[in-house]
Amino acid sequence: GSVVGFAADDQGRPVFSFSGMSAHTKNLEKDARCSLTVTEASFAGAADARVVLTGTVDRLQGDDADAARAAYKASHPKAYWVDFGDFHVYRMSEILDVAFVGGFARAGSVTPAEYAAADVDPVAPFFKPVADHMNDDHEDALKTYVEVLVGTDEVSSAEMTRLDRYGIDVRVVDAASGSTGVLRVPFNDPVTDRAAVKTAIVALSKDAAARQAS
């Protein structure tokens, strides 16, 4: 398989910019059926999230091509080669299957209709700044969340790898064995904006402190 960049249009359909010289482009021209595997940014192994979209990919023309190219350039602002004459835009216009794996024991299927109707998680745009802040300045707090709120043994490191409206995922290293894993720390209530994310994380700290004091 090929490693490729992609973006999503306003309906969540993957769009691509492919050179006519690439083997995957030639393959798609012969047979439009394909699958796209997308992993989370910090993907390290089976404990991390990934999704496989299976469908048909076709080359776009006219206004559809212009809109897809704009979406791709918005997602990849340094992709100057998109405007080269040999590059054309493609889209997985028909998604036939969606297979999601959120980590160990967190697999499930999503119908194409459910995928098309879903909204982007409202706190997704805040993930990177929040995770960077927590990982750079508050690793001890993340350790406390998993040790006290989740109930693990002592961990030697903790890294926030995912944030959504329902909670955070933390990659940990067990202090005794050195084994790694990804643990879920849920929020008390769903959140929808950045201020609410901060409030929810503060609440985790307060809950952990209360349990330690009891």
Q: Which letter does DSSP use for residue 177 in this model?
A: T
Please answer whether residues 97 and 110 qualify as being in contact, where contact means their C-beta atoms are separated by less than 8 angstroms: no
CA 165 to CA 197: how far, in whole Å? 8
Residue 33: the pLDDT is 97
* Whole-number CA gyration radius for the chain: 20
Name the β-bridge partners of 114.
none
CA 184 to CA 63: how far, in whole Å? 43
Q: How confident is the model at residue 11 (pLDDT cuts 50, 70, 90)?
A: very high
CA 162 to CA 126: how far, in whole Å? 11
**Residue 196, both tokens:** 């609410």
pLDDT digits (tens, 9 = 90+) for 154-197: 999 999 999 999 999 999 999 999 999 999 999 999 999 999 99
The Cβ-side half-sphere exposure at 85, using a 13 Å CA radius, reads: 0
Tokens 């690439």, located at residue? 22
Q: How confident is the model at residue 105 (pLDDT cuts 50, 70, 90)?
A: confident
pLDDT digits (tens, 9 = 90+) for 26-75: 999 999 999 999 998 878 888 888 999 999 999 999 999 999 999 999 99
Residue 42: the pLDDT is 79
CA 31 to CA 26: how far, in whole Å? 9
Residue 28: the pLDDT is 95
pTM for the model stands at 0.81
Residue 75: the pLDDT is 94
Q: Does residue 119 or residue 109 have the better pLDDT?
A: 119
Residue 107: the pLDDT is 81
pLDDT at 115 over 80: yes
Give the mean model confidence (pLDDT) for residues 86-96.
Answer: 96
Mean predicted lDDT score pLDDT of the chain = 94
Residue 106: the pLDDT is 76
